[in-house]
Structure 1
């Protein structure tokens, strides 16, 4: 099967979890014997390169300060690229997020090619509601994609509920396929000497607990609730540091909040990190916290589970489906600093419990969430979309 995967971000361009998802899925599809062309954006990257068997084609849309306007320019460029490659050569067009839904819809109607749309989140969930004219337009575009696609893929049952109840999407049209992880990439080796040298370079002393957050610094990720919870956690565990790996428009506010709460000297902002550095962050942290107020899935949870670091996560969205409380992680109440402090204390204070959930989490990462398993499920959705177009 020849597949066109259409996405606005793809490694090494990484804004959020979408790039990780598309890379993992594309490479697993290739390992399963399929041919995959990724059509994406890359202003300062080669127009074409092969990466781990995946053909990556990049476009350079007209730039614009308004994201919605830029997305329209981008969709036009992506569709033109697919046309130049020979749209008739593809068995299915698989689009990711609302920005590419215009591409899938247009190709479906002009060439009768099957169109599959993956929904990774919704505008209403990301923003806590529809708060502007641009936000309304994005919400409508998400509805349009869910209507036009032959088949939909939601990354969690939580997102399926949003689609079916929010957009009145037929239940049978939405396939739930979780995100995945290549667990061996994060299950790295390292001795105590390397661990403490790495942590010292971050500013974490040998006698201190290292609490880790990985993700964007935006409203939906709930980082301000983590900082408030960490301040309470420090009362019982004063020898601790919170390491924040990510960037976003809320960083200034979060840095100010940490100082106002009296723990600014205990919070370390690293900026965006990926690659081997990120894997070491996971490996050498004592706990990884995911304090989201809205989380369609949560790839960070899988990466931490694979690395052998205990997960403390908000009981929301896809995280509720990944984390089995006190079996492979600890669930806490969203927007609740006291609950976050309790969850951290639960994994830091009880070594036996920590080892128990780490063992179970790593087993789940290897057996339930491999990209190869996710690719096989996705191929079945492609086959259903192809059959629908034949009817």
Structure 2
């Protein structure tokens, strides 16, 4: 196992006084966790998405329970040996506590974060204009954007039903519009068939897998970002949309409520509810000034809570706290 070998290497570095603290992702520090009681260097453990446990939806783990069993055992070993266990969102803390069964005092929230300098650098105005021309975006066209792998659990079929309902109720006010989906996957055929059944061929634009620079150009072109997922971990694509000052309509799955805040930077709806999703989209498109205001608020949330600077500061503060505690426990 990689986790055994990598963890033993970390253990060797600790015993050689070359490092003072170990920070591991997933089961990558298993070898160190097994020997944690024999050394002084604190262990910070990030269990990541907890997919092997089903994360926020334990029913997802049933089909793969046998295959995931060794990984679950390894993750539990790491968590129980850790001085601090990280949750990447406040709303994921209950899942961390439930699956890993560690004391609540040991669980800390440090979110996944974005490099805002990189996001700003790729938001090139010339590239955005070129993409708009190449994609045939018309003046005044409302572009709704989603980004993700085309799988059933992403909820894009629910969004298609919502878009059809919103169109029937006049949500687009006779203006041209399209839903752009960046990504590919095994559910694409089902989605394409649903597009035909709902007569949305003219409004749905499957872009397939595209380069990061083009995805960021689409964020700039979009009026609204929609993330209808049925299951979610942390959702970096939602953070990216917010970093580009886009208002967001999303489901309440996973860590999304930590990012999308009703009446601040977007709208939240129950997963799998096309009616609620249609109503949220209709409300969003009805007030362009509010979309712009929500977009600015979303960027501020990322800067203050989900930037590399914010996450880095929180991580360093945790390291210092654990090292002070460890120093206090050592014989004077």
Tell me whether the two structures share a fold, i.e. TM-score over 0.5.
Answer: yes
1:168-317 matches, cutoff 5 A: 168-187=101-120, 195-202=128-135, 204-235=137-168, 236=170, 237=172, 239-317=176-254
- Helix, strand or coil at the partner of 1:125: coil
Confirm whether residue 92 of structure 1 aligns to residue 21 of structure 2: yes
Residue 154 in 1 paired to residue 82 in 2?
no
2:242 and 2:298 in contact (8 A); partners too: yes
Q: Distance in 1 between matches of 2:260 and 2:10?
A: 39
Does the C-alpha gap of structure 1 residues 104 and 157 become closer, same or farther in structure 2, counting only changes over 3 Å?
farther
The structure 1 residue matched to 2:309, chosen from 372, 376, 385, is 372
- Output the CA distance in 2 between the equivalents of 1:359 and 1:366: 11
Off by >6 Å, runs of 4+ in structure 1: 83-87
Change (3 A) 1:204 1:104: farther
Question: In terms of Rg, which structure is larger?
Answer: 2
From the superposition, tell whether residues 141 and 253 of structure 1 become closer, same or farther in structure 2 (CA, over 3 Å).
farther
Aligned twin of 2:75 = 142
Q: Give yes or no for contact 1:127–1:219 (8 Å, CA) kept in 2.
A: no
Distance 1:258 1:87 in 2: 60
Gaps of 5+ in 2: none
Shift of 1:289: 0.9
CA offset at residue 342 of structure 1?
Answer: 1.8
Q: Scaled by the length of structure 1, what TM-score is found?
A: 0.71
RMSD of aligned Cα (Å): 3.0
CA pair 285-170 structure 1, distance change in 2 beyond 3 A: same
Contact 2:229 2:253 in 1 (8 A): yes
Between the aligned partners of 1:358 and 1:187, the Cα distance in structure 2 is 15
**TM-aligned CA distance change 1:276 to 1:195, over 3 Å:** closer
Could you say if the C-alpha distance between residues 386 and 286 of structure 1 is closer, same or farther in structure 2, counting changes exceeding 3 Å? same
- Is the CA contact (8 Å cut-off) linking 2:5 and 2:31 kept in structure 1? no
Distance of 1:144 and 1:254 partners within structure 2: 41
For the 8 Å contact 1:126–1:220, the answer to whether it is kept is no
TM-superposed CA distance for 1:301, in Å, is 2.2
Q: Check the 8 A contact 2:57/2:231 in 1, yes or no.
A: no
Cα gap change, 1:146 to 1:361, in 2 (>3 Å): same
8 A contact 2:13–2:19 mirrored in 1 = no
Q: CA deviation digits over 1:194-253, x for unaligned, max 9? A: 645413423544453211111233344322222222232333337322211223333333
Q: Give the Cα separation in 2 of the matches to 1:382 and 1:354.
A: 39
In structure 1, how many angstroms separate the alpha carbons of the residues matched to 2:8 and 2:32?
A: 12
Structure 1 residues 388 and 287: alpha-carbon distance in aligned structure 2, compared to 1, 3 A threshold: same
Q: TM-score, normalised by structure 2?
A: 0.82
Q: For 1:317, what is the secondary structure of its paired residue?
A: coil
The runs of 5 or more residues in structure 1 that have no matched partner are: 1-71
CA 1:382/1:226 → structure 2, altered by over 3 Å: closer, same or farther?
A: same
**2:277 equivalent among 335, 340, 344:** 340
Q: Is the 8 A contact 2:132 2:221 kept in 1?
A: yes
2:56–2:254 contact (8 Å) kept in structure 1:
no
Aligned length: 317
Q: Which residue of 2 is the match for residue 119 of structure 1?
A: 47
> Aligned pair in 2 of structure 1 residues 120, 346: CA closer, same or farther (>3 Å)?
farther
What residue is the counterpart of 1:40 in the other structure? none
Does the 8 Å CA contact 1:120/1:155 hold for their aligned counterparts?
yes
Q: Deviation at 1:377?
A: 0.9
